[in-house]
Structures are given as C-alpha cells and as structure tokens.
Structure 1
C-alpha cells in the first residue's frame, strides 16, 4: 500500500485522512480524493494536504488502495463509472450496508476483481477515539490487511467481527455515540437545573463519562465492580443508582438496541 484514494470526502473521510497523515503511516502527497463538490474538496485538500482529483477515474487510477467513503446510495453509480479501473486494487468500504458479500456479487464477473474489506467506523474517529469493526470475510492479502489495520489503529480501537455480528457491532459502536450524547445532555441539564453554567456542565459530564470509560478499559474490571466502588452504604450514589433502576435505565438501553436490530430486519 503506497497510495490511497478516497471516493467522497465527508466528515468521516476527513477524519480518516487527517488521522492517517498525522500518524505518519502515510504521506499526504500519497493521498488522493474525489468528490462531486469540487470547491469543498479543494478547501479540504488545502486543510489536510491531500491531492484533489477532478474526476473519479483520476482518483482511482492514482492509487493502489481505494476507500469507498461516499453515501451508500451513491455506490452503485460509482462502481458503474469506475468499472474496470478498480481491478486488482484494494477496496476498503466504510459505507453502511456495503459489506464483502455485496461487493462480491457485483464483481463476480470480473477476471481480476478488487480485493475487498468492509470496515464499520464511528464518529469519535474524528478525535482519535474511534471504534473500527473489520468484517472477517475479506479478500485482502494478509500483509495488505495488516497495513490497513495499522492505519485504522492510529485513530482508535480496531476489532474483527464475524460477518453475522457486524450488524449488532455497528448498532453498539455506530449508534452508541448518539446514546452517549443523550446521557451527556441529560446530566448536563440536571447540573444546569442546580446552578452550574451550561458550558461547565457539559465539560464536567463529558469528562466524567470519558474517565469512567477509560478506567474500565484500562483495568478490565467488570462495570458492576467499578459501580460498587463508588456506592457507599446509605450514601448518595446508591440513591441515584436506585432511582435509575426504578426508571428502567438498563431496560431502556437494551430496548434501544432491540429497536435498531428490528429495523435492520425490515
């Protein structure tokens, strides 16, 4: 992997581009990108240092590894236009729903199809704290996959999941930031209710959530053990925990994932 190209340059593609270059894993001069909005593409190219391309063909032909980062509904048109230019290249898809088997069907008639890897990212990648799910089924060369894996590791945590678990994995890591944001907003509202300024409230809650998550990750302790360590007998925290249990917090969390998984089946 010497040169990479992004098809689409939205928020996620910008986060990946900036992170990859910042990590030193790839030089900005070896990054190419195409997007229909050429004016916006040029501004992003100036910001991140990549090479803006005037056409899809130019971007694809300039690289050996292509990142499909456009909207899912645009991919069929992109593939139809890119055609044989994708042959023998590595194709990394971060578009929801476009997994290995979806591409495999499209490229089944190719004598030399591109090598495919589906990766599901999430928005905290923008601050170097992303979760990236690698679908187990792929056709990358081993050394190629290792290089791609290391690229994503520069922006967070990388995990491989079996094909049948990519859906639930995406529901947790992909949708999860929105649920965490609701938690932050709700507790910040409570802080404001009792007099803390809004900006300070967001900072306190967000840092508390970040710290608690980091403590669990680094210690490996069961969340219940960490929770118990804060709950003194007859203390204030256990009263708050009791109120959350009475309001069905755990059930609400599980039901939110049930709703996503039920929707995905339709």
Structure 2
C-alpha cells in the first residue's frame, strides 16, 4: 500500500458523512472512483449514490472488507458492535477507521479482535469540498507507516487534528456542530444584504466566501481571532460600529451557551 493511488477504501454505511468523505476524495483526484467501495442496507439508494460517480457498491460488509485496504466504519454508534463483530477476522488485517462520535479507542477495541489496527475520528461535512476537519483520537493502534498513509489518503479532505481522548467530544462539537452555527450567521448576513438591496444569491455568495477566506487566514497564519477582528476595525470606522452592536446583542455569549448546551446534553 505504498502508492496512495492504489489504496482501496471501503465505507460500511454510506450516509451523509460517508458520502461527504467520498466526494472529497474524488474531488482531491488522488483516489480513483473505482478504488472506493461502499455497502449499506438500502441497495437501490446505495447504487444511486455510488454508480453515477464510478464508485462500486457491494452487497455485504464481508465482501467490502475483502476488497478494501482501509475500512471506514460509517454507521451509527449503536450499530458498531453488531456490524463489526461478525467480520472481526477479516478486519484484523485492515486499517480500520471509525467515524462514530462517542466511540473512542477503548470502546472500539472491545468490539475488534486483539491486534486490529484502528483509529477513531470525527469528521465534519465540509470534507466534501476539501475544507473539512477530521478530529483524530491521539490514542490509536496504527503503525507509524499506517498513520502516515491515512494522513496522505485524507489530505484532500482538509485538516486532520489529533486530540486527546477526553477532548474528542468538545473538539467534535466545535468542528461538527459549528457549520450549523456558521450557516445561521451567513444566512443572517445574507438577509441583511438583501434588506439593503443585494440580490440574495450574491449576498449568500459573498457571505460564504468571506467565511471561507477568514477561516483559511486564521488557520494558515495562526493569528488570534481578536487580532484579526482588530485589523478590520478602524478608529471611528464602520466595522467597529457593527462589532459594538453584536457585543450589545450578546453574540459571544450566545455561541458559548450553544456549545455549552451541547456538551451538557451528552
């Protein structure tokens, strides 16, 4: 598996997140469609979501694991045990990647045969356009070579961020729930643009690219968000007036409360 272009990746379960990852892999260009396999309960739906793009649907998890070098467990957390245990012997020789939130290394280790090489992750949906985040648990059983291979395989999807086990939940909330919060902000910003005369499509396009560019600037430069905000706020200028209005309305506390509500629900 030294050549990244020859790696076969198989998705057990092909819901929204698995489809997002597959789309990102195809977009990246280094994984041919014919190297991507998927299985799911609804065969007709699976075929609709794979065959038009050149990906290969298979009927069973057993068949998929036999085809793939890297097996991605993309089913719901409560389904992991039932899916994994019958194919444990087949998985023992593969690189196993879990996408199940709340299913860290130690828990997955109980479902897999001893010695199986696996890594637990939490991706977000922007992986489909190559600007996503894949939270990776620092505790894993991949070899250094296998981990490097996974990094190369997932490089087109965006940022891979390792975190300690006890931080997987909050990291997943920030990166996985955050797109919903940002989408609400973009929608509101677009509405404001429309209120002042912009065509809605233009307003949304401007808001989307502004968020994408600002986020990329932060990640690549490593600047503090406060410093980036300050750089746009001229003395007695227009931006600081808007910032002050957001502060009065409690934007920061609202976002913190939203994340806190999610963490307290778990």
Using structure 2 for the length normalisation, give the TM-score.
0.91
Structure 2 residue aligned with 1:44: 49
Q: Secondary structure at the match of 1:131?
A: strand
Q: How far did 1:212 drift?
A: 2.0
Count of residue pairs brought into register by the alignment: 261
1:3 and 2:8 aligned: yes
**Counterparts of 1:141-160 in structure 2 under 5 Å?**
141-160=143-162
Q: For the residues of structure 2 that align with 1:218 and 1:181, how far apart are their CA atoms?
A: 22
Structure 2 residue aligned with 1:178: 180
Q: For the residues of structure 2 that align with 1:178 and 1:194, how far apart are their CA atoms?
A: 25
1:218–1:49: structure 2 CA closer, same or farther, 3 Å change rule? same
Of residues 55, 65, 72 in structure 2, which corresponds to 1:67? 72
1:230–1:30: structure 2 CA closer, same or farther, 3 Å change rule? closer
1:33 and 2:35 aligned: no
Q: Secondary structure at the match of 2:102?
A: coil
1:76 and 2:81 aligned: yes
Q: How far did 1:128 drift?
A: 0.9
Using structure 1 for the length normalisation, give the TM-score.
0.91
**RMSD, matched Cα:** 1.8
1:80–1:106: structure 2 CA closer, same or farther, 3 Å change rule? closer
The CA deviation string for residues 17-66 of structure 1, in whole angstroms up to 9 with x for no partner, is 23334434433333321111111222233223222111121112222321
Q: Is the Cα–Cα contact under 8 Å of residues 67 and 94 in structure 1 kept in the other structure?
A: yes
Moved more, 230-239 or 216-225: 216-225
Of residues 97, 103, 125 in structure 2, which corresponds to 1:98? 103
Structure 2 residue aligned with 1:169: 171
**Structure 1 unpaired stretches of 5+:** none
Q: For the residues of structure 1 that align with 2:28 and 2:210, how far apart are their CA atoms?
A: 27
Q: Is the Cα–Cα contact under 8 Å of residues 188 and 205 in structure 1 kept in the other structure?
A: yes
Structure 2 residue aligned with 1:127: 129
1:23–1:207: structure 2 CA closer, same or farther, 3 Å change rule? closer
Q: Secondary structure at the match of 1:202?
A: helix
Of residues 94, 97, 101 in structure 2, which corresponds to 1:89? 94
